[in-house]
Amino acid sequence: MQAIQEYADALRYIYSFADYERQTPRQHAFQHLENVRALLHAVGNPHTQLRAIHVTGTKGKGSTTAMLTSVLATAGNRVGTFTSPHLNTHRERYRLDGQPVSETLFTSMLRELQPAIERVRSERPLTTFEVSTALAFTLFLRERVDWAVVEVGLGGRLDTTNVIIPALSVITSISLDHTQVLGDTIELIAADKAGIIKPGAPVVVSPQRAEALKPIREQAQRVGSPVIEVERVARPLDRVIVNPLRQEFTLDTSLELGGEPLHGCRVGLNLQGVHQVENALTAIAALSSLDPAAAGVRTADLLKGMERVSWPGRFEVVEGGVPVVLDGAHNPYSMRKLRQAVEEVFPGQRACYVFASGRRHDAGEMLRELKGLPVVLCSSTHPQSRSTAELAALAEAEGFQYQTATSVPEAIAIARQERAQLVVVCGTLFLVADAREALGLAEATDPVRS
């Protein structure tokens, strides 16, 4: 058994399992929940003792999770948050009241669980994400969180996190992504994500295409879950971009918090884009659906919590001589939304895009969304990154001009020299992670990477 003494040892250990995110091809034969259930049973079934909110979706699930966490914590709750992937340190996946767990806590918890993990490992194959999930749930139980906000890793029905019985489920915007695993239509993807809906637990649903709503409604009816469709209960009025870092809107809604009507409240949000307003409305609808006695959220908590939301790598603006926008957009829909947000927040300014992509994403379709714009192509340090040569071939096929770089820092430097008034880094969160390190924004980095 590999000894865990220091933080680096803990990282080496957790990366010693099959890692679908970074190296191991996803194997359909192992897409089930039996292994994670066995692992959780071995560590005491912590997931059965948590009050949880379960969040899935193609886009916006991370931002919505961050909003829920911020508001619940502002209201005085102890909140554990489990998200993926991370940007610069694995510890970002496990947060307490919005802050990544310490190296000491992460290491000691994994060391404590190691004997049980090894017993299960001797009988069953385990993945890094399954071990991470068991670690998160155990950690949250030990830390006596009032709420666990749990983001789905991939899909819904067979995602490792789908062992919890949540107080509330949330489904954010659905679009085509991970089609090789989830299906190649919106309806199939929505049906998979609807698998997180549990009997009796309400489900809050962001505005969706009709073909996505159908399987969600059918699953909710099948298990007896109330459905709250956000576009039916809330909409924004008088949206204003205050500056590149902030937008505001007024709530037009029938929703209440603790008996207080929310109609007419002015919401300030330090995340840009129309899609973030949609995410905010989804989070607000979710918060209003929680048991008031258990959540204790008042209107003042909501407004203050929304003001405090921070979610790095999602239209993260780095101010300076030439501002840089960092955004993890990684499918054609999100790339379109990003371009629209850039043009809205920085009207009339010449933007140069630094672009990389993972092998599992549709790089060609994303590049089409950037046609007519100056683009610098590069590769991230992530093992699943497409090579610059692959991206160049796709750009050639589309017939537009581009430049290439051998590293992320070089790509940013080239973009800044392109008479650009703005640099936009996008295509994959792993490129954003590299860019944050290159720009000196990473508060912490890990001594070991998988």
* pLDDT exceeds cutoff 70 at 218: yes
* pLDDT exceeds cutoff 60 at 180: no
pLDDT at position 132? 98
Secondary-structure breakdown of the chain: helix, strand, coil percentages, each rounded to the nearest 5:
40, 20, 40
Residue indicated by tokens 């371009």: 339
Number of Cα atoms under 13 Å in the Cβ half of residue 72 = 33
- The pLDDT confidence band at residue 165, using thresholds 50, 70 and 90, is very high
Whether the CB-CB separation of 213 and 205 falls below 8 Å is answered with: yes
pLDDT tens across 243-285, in order? 999 999 999 999 999 899 999 999 999 999 999 999 999 999 9
pLDDT tens across 278-317, in order? 999 999 999 999 999 999 999 999 999 999 999 999 999 9
SS3 of residue 89 by DSSP: coil
Averaged pLDDT for residues 60-84: 97
* pLDDT exceeds cutoff 60 at 30: no
* pLDDT exceeds cutoff 90 at 127: yes
Torsion on CA atoms 365, 367, 371, 377, rounded to nearest 10: -170
Give CA–CA dist 127/23, Å, rounded.
11
Give CA–CA dist 384/448, Å, rounded.
17
**What SS3 string covers 383-413?**
CCECCHHHHHHHHHHHCCCCEECCCHHHHHH
pLDDT at position 21? 67
Single pTM value for the model: 0.94
Give, to the nearest 10 degrees, the angle between helix 299-308 and helix 274-289. Answer: 140
Averaged pLDDT for residues 320-338: 91
Which residue stretches of 309-382 are H helix? 332-345, 363-368
pLDDT tens across 378-422, in order? 999 988 899 999 999 999 988 888 999 999 999 999 999 888 899
pLDDT at position 29? 47
The first and second tokens of residue 65, run together, are 């999770």
Most confident of 29-38, 199-208, 379-388: 199-208
pLDDT at position 384? 85
Mean pLDDT, the chain, integer: 93
DSSP, res 18: B
pLDDT at position 238? 97
- The pLDDT confidence band at residue 182, using thresholds 50, 70 and 90, is low
pLDDT at position 311? 92
Give, to the nearest 10 degrees, the angle between helix 128-142 and helix 103-121. Answer: 120
pLDDT tens across 334-369, in order? 899 999 999 999 999 999 999 999 888 889 999 999
pLDDT at position 356? 96
The first and second tokens of residue 407, run together, are 């590293």
Whole-angstrom CA distances from 258 to 146, 148, 261, 294, 358 are: 18, 20, 9, 11, 44
**In 3D, which of 23, 157, 145 has the Cα closest to residue 95?**
145
Q: Spell out the residues 6+ positions from residue 384 whose beta carbon is closer than 8 angstroms to its own.
A: 21, 22, 23, 358, 359, 360, 430
pLDDT at position 23? 52
Q: Going from the N-terminus, what domains does the chain have, and what CATH number goes with each? A: 7-232 (3.40.1190.10), 316-438 (3.90.190.20)
Give CA–CA dist 170/193, Å, rounded.
10
